[in-house]
Amino acid sequence: MRLLRSVRIALAVTAVCAAAALISQAVRAPSSVPASCPERWGGDRPGGWVPAAADLEGVEESLVPGEPVTAMICAYPGDNARPGGERLAGSRILTAEAGAMARDLDYLPVTTADPGGPCTQMGGATTNYLIRFAYPRGEALWVGSAEEVNSCVTTTNGTVGSRSYVGPDITAAYRTGTWNPARPDDPCHGFPGRRGQDGRMVPGEPVSVLVCGQAPYDGRSPRLEHGRQAAEDLAAALNSLDARPGENVCRGGEVAQGDTLLLLFGYREGPPAAVRILTACDPGVDNGLLQANLDANARDQVKRLAPPA
């Protein structure tokens, strides 16, 4: 009889402990972002808005940290002449390609400051997007962006933002259910960005640099590509400049042919880091987030690596 009573007490204690453990797990469970798309866009400009910033590790350094398992795209079409309050038009869920989408967005250069800058003012259609990335343990993260006729969009997770333009890629993913970012036919005609360019003009360890000259009105941009040593030396020269947050503007005289160069630093993985050189402007170095004045060392290296005008 005593043995039976002891067994019952032991089972009761076990049950209480198990219940306490379940309650503890429920209390510690990560809070989730609402699982449905908001009925209206809550921002007042193309992109740049999310319903709430996520409390996830890494959101201060990356738009989409970690490895989400699904991505739900919510679309809000409208017009940039009447921004704000656009109604939800539909949604699309990506599963197999959510990780690839997250990795590509993770590479974009970000800043905690307002990444805004001057924009052209053409009127036209705009589609705002919210993307809800869901993680295996129940966490979730909103990213807000847009496709806009002026390509003047901020993409944000509510903590950091990027001016890198990915609107057409999100539109294609929403329409097709696949993530397949378009690459420019001519790299010299793009201005890509890479994570870390908010802190250094050229982040990481580049393995090559493509130097693109200014394209004539009726032809292809002149260019020269250089290997690792030239890329490392040029990156070191640019990183030694006294950089400051960029305003995406410069002051100077008339820009002549050969005064503008685009440097595309290549890496073993991920997108290139772009730096624009404007020798007739002050400041003359701009990576989209940082600006700096050219010194004699950087100017000489750029001139030596530039293609013939």
User: What is d(CA 147, CA 150) in angstroms, rounded to the nearest whole number?
Assistant: 9
What stretch of H or E contains 125? strand 125-134
Structure-token pair, residue 62: 């990356």
In Å, how far from its chain's centre is CA 261? Answer: 23
Q: Contact at 8 Å (CB) between 153 and 139?
A: no
pLDDT of residue 6: 39
229-241 residue pLDDT tens: 999 999 999 999 9
pLDDT of residue 174: 97
β-pairing, 223-226 vs 208-212, is antiparallel
User: What sign does the dihedral 179-182-183-189 (CA atoms) show?
Assistant: negative
Burial of 117 (0-12, 13-18, 19+ CB in 10 A): middle
User: What is d(CA 302, CA 255) in angstroms, rounded to the nearest whole number?
Assistant: 17
Q: Contact at 8 Å (CB) between 289 and 214?
A: no
User: What is d(CA 78, CA 218) in angstroms, rounded to the nearest whole number?
Assistant: 36
3-state secondary structure of 192: coil
pLDDT of residue 240: 97
Nearest to 125 by CA among 181, 165, 76, 175: 76
Is the pTM here over 0.85, yes or no?
no
Domain ranges of the chain: 70-176, 187-305
User: What is d(CA 133, CA 306) in angstroms, rounded to the nearest whole number?
Assistant: 42
User: What is d(CA 184, CA 289) in angstroms, rounded to the nearest whole number?
Assistant: 21
User: What is d(CA 285, CA 231) in angstroms, rounded to the nearest whole number?
Assistant: 16
199-230 residue pLDDT tens: 999 999 999 999 999 876 556 889 999 999 99
Give the residues of the chain that fall short of pLDDT 70. Answer: 1-34, 115-120, 216-219, 248-249, 252-258
Nearest to 288 by CA among 62, 60, 115: 115
CA 155 → CA 199, 212, 274, distances in Å?
18, 27, 18
User: What sign does the dihedral 88-126-69-181 (CA atoms) show?
Assistant: positive
User: What is d(CA 192, CA 178) in angstroms, rounded to the nearest whole number?
Assistant: 21
